[in-house]
Structure 1
Amino acid sequence: MSEKFKLVKEYLHDMELAIISENIEEELVVVEDEEKGIKNLIIDCEEPILVLEQVIMKVPPSPTDFFKRLLQMNRNLVHGAFVIDENAEIILFRDTLQLENLDRNELEASIQALSLALSEYGSELLEHVA
């Protein structure tokens, strides 16, 4: 286990996020804080970056206007973005941070940005759940 992965886990512990699973070989953890809308947030140490991803929903049928709206939402996000997977089937929140100089405030800000995005846009996103 790398020192950077240990540090990330320490930050998550300090932030009182529940680590619900981890893969030490892959240097990956899954965390949650349901009060803040964080559910199955994957945090993956992929040198030289830290990847944060949380599934938001399935892509709705006929999503053209919805994709436009997601891009408009992205403009207002503090960190990260709403993205789609390679198969255009799943919408995720994704953010990447540099591992080299990562500090707790930066990681916490990224996770809080997800929480803020969900509180601001959650009901609008739910309108499109198939």
Structure 2
Amino acid sequence: MANHYFFKIKTYLLELGFDIRHQEEATNLLVVSKPELGIEHLVIGCGEPLLILEQHLLDLPNPSCEVYQQLLQKNRDIIHGAFVLDDTGRKVIYRDTLQLEHLDRPELEAVFNSLSLLLSEFSDELIAFSKGELGVVKA
């Protein structure tokens, strides 16, 4: 059944104008980009019962409690998905999970719109974090 979801998601992505950079049908994995939304190499896994979306945003050269605090505070404003860290605590990733069973194109599109909005509104802070500077969360 996961294969059915793979093709359904792939169809939605093409309809939404995404460039499919990589696909592995055997593992139900897609890597997509849509630069005009700020989305580059978003990894999508169709692992029934969940659709998992992840995009690496930046590496933290100087992780600190203040940076982590600002990322967590910003999570509260994000409509879909959240900032997460990898096991090292240095890679900041955007991640969202959705139920595959009832997923439709507008719901998937809402995730992409949320990510695009997040990247545009929080870009100055993300750039500062990637440079090892402490940014200030906008109200």
TM-score (ref. length: structure 2): 0.90
The equivalent of 1:102 in structure 2 is 103
Name the CA distance, whole Å, in 1 between partners of 2:94 and 2:85: 9
CA deviation profile, 1:94-129 (whole Å, cap 9, x unmatched): 000000111001111011111110001011110111
Q: Quote the residue 1:113 is aligned against.
A: 114
1:59 aligns with 2:60: yes
Aligned-pair identity (%): 42
**CA-based RMSD:** 1.1
Deviation at 1:19, TM superposition (A): 0.3
| Alignment partner, residue 10 of structure 1 | 11
SS at match of 1:86: coil
Q: Which runs of 5+ in 1 are unaligned?
A: none
Q: One-letter code of the match for 2:71?
A: L
Residue equivalent to 2:130: 129
Whether 1:93 aligns to 2:94 is yes
Quote the residue 1:73 is aligned against: 74
Equivalent pairs counted in the alignment come to 130
Q: Partner residue of 1:32?
A: 33
- Contact 2:58 2:92 (8 Å CA) reproduced: yes
Q: TM-score, normalised by structure 1?
A: 0.96
Give the C-alpha shift of residue 60 in structure 1: 3.3
SS in 2 for 1:61: coil
Match of 2:136 in 1: none
Rounded to whole Å, the distance in 1 between the matches of 2:32 and 2:62 is: 29
- Alpha-carbon spacing, 1:62–1:29, altered in 2? closer, same or farther (3 Å): closer
1:35 shift after superposition: 1.1
Q: What letter corresponds to residue 10 of structure 2 in structure 1? A: K
Describe the shift of the 1:10–1:62 C-alpha distance in structure 2 as closer, same or farther (beyond 3 A): closer
